[in-house]
Amino acid sequence: MKLGLFNLMSYQDNPQGIQGVINDMRSMVGLAEEIGFETAWFAEHHFSNYSISVSPLLMAAHMAGYCRRIKLGTAVIVLPLYEPMRLAQEIALVDRLTDGRLVLGIGSGYQAYEFDRYGMDVARRNDILLEKWAFIESALVDGQTETLSWQGQHIKTDFLLRPLQQPLPPVFITTAQPALLQRFSRWRPTAFMTAGWRGSPRLKTMVDDARREWHEAGLPADTPVAVQQYIHVTDSKKAALEAAERALFVARMIAALHGKEMSTEGAFIHAPKFPDEPDASVIRDNLIIGDAQHVAERIIQEVKDLNPSHYNCFFQFGDMPIAAARQSLEKFGLEVIPLLERALGKVTVDIR
């Protein structure tokens, strides 16, 4: 199991504005590399303060110049929103710009708010993903596309650019659906799962249910799984609840974004309480928030229960001040990782 750092890059009250969000991200990725995290991941969202990371490929290419060892992942490219001829070339180019450090995370998306503004039907997202992936796969692996119909056109062309990692960078996909994973089986994809604010209890159910469905569908028993959790390391009970409140704010934004009818002030989401919203103390207990011993014990148990190949950590959520996010990540490196490695073996990557 290796560690990842998730960068959502929300913007709410950062004192340095949007540039502060960018600077915070650079700071967190640099620190994660020093600690020995394997991968830094970048989200993709559009048209709101939920995230200013509109292009995870652009973020990966940018951060290749700020770090020298950590892998750079897209979490995820929302494939239905792209023109596939252009995207295929950009994937290949970014893998070369990062010296083969690109990790290719793709997904179908879920936010009706975004799809509506691109003039697309979110209900068709999986069909569109498969159609466009067929084009991209042919372009990147074969160097040309088969003659196929896409948006009413018959396209066949040659592609000069291929990824540095042959035949493709590692593939992660945000789905548990057996049919989608079988379509990507050629690349032994890693299924990427997160339970958001519901945290550990829900995540275990998700992974257990998925593995049962995979077994029934005949997928390999060792199909890899990556999980993602909100994490905050603090000795202060007050700070732990404040972190939970920030996670709750993210949950409210996600709930609002699931529908087309969303109230905004400009691009800022109006995120009221959602039905049956839990108390912050419930959020704290669902997520991995607390002192180093508590955090380590929770992660160790989760790894033993779920056996993930990749454990992705979300430290700066809800526009958490960079000082608090860095302090949490530093304590994770100094106090939590030694406990993890004592129980689980090596989880970091050498910086050399």
Report pLDDT digits (tens) over 31-46: 999 999 999 999 999 9
Nearest CA to 178 among 131, 217, 221?
217
Scanning the structure block, which residue is given the tokens 């148990």? 301
Q: What is residue 336's DSSP assignment?
A: I
Q: Write out the DSSP string of 194-212.
A: E-GGGHHHHHHHHHHHHHH
Q: What is residue 268's DSSP assignment?
A: E
Peptide bond into 201 cis (omega under 30): no
pTM of the model: 0.96
Return the biggest CA–CA distance within the chain. Answer: 61
Q: What is the pLDDT of residue 159?
A: 84
Q: What is the mean pLDDT of the chain?
A: 94
What domains can you pick out in the chain, each with its CATH number? Answer: 2-344 (3.20.20.30)
Host H or E run for residue 78: strand 77-78
Torsion angle in degrees (nearest 10) through CA of 64, 246, 243, 325 = 20
Q: What is the pLDDT of residue 24?
A: 98
Q: What CA–CA distance (Å, rounded) separates 42 from 78?
A: 12
Dihedral sign (CA 291, 334, 286, 54):
positive
Provide the pLDDT confidence category of residue 48 given band limits of 50, 70 and 90. Answer: very high
Nearest CA to 56 among 123, 104, 93, 18?
104
Distance of CA 272 to the CA centre of its chain: 25
Q: What CA–CA distance (Å, rounded) separates 300 from 8?
A: 25
pLDDT of 258 > 90? The answer is: no
Q: Convert the pLDDT of each residue in 288-318 to its tens digit.
A: 999 999 999 999 999 999 999 999 999 999 9
Residue type, 280: A
Q: C-alpha angle with apex 141: 188 to 160, nearest 5 degrees?
A: 150
Q: Convert the pLDDT of each residue in 16-31 to its tens digit.
A: 999 999 999 999 999 9
pLDDT (mean) for 231-242: 98
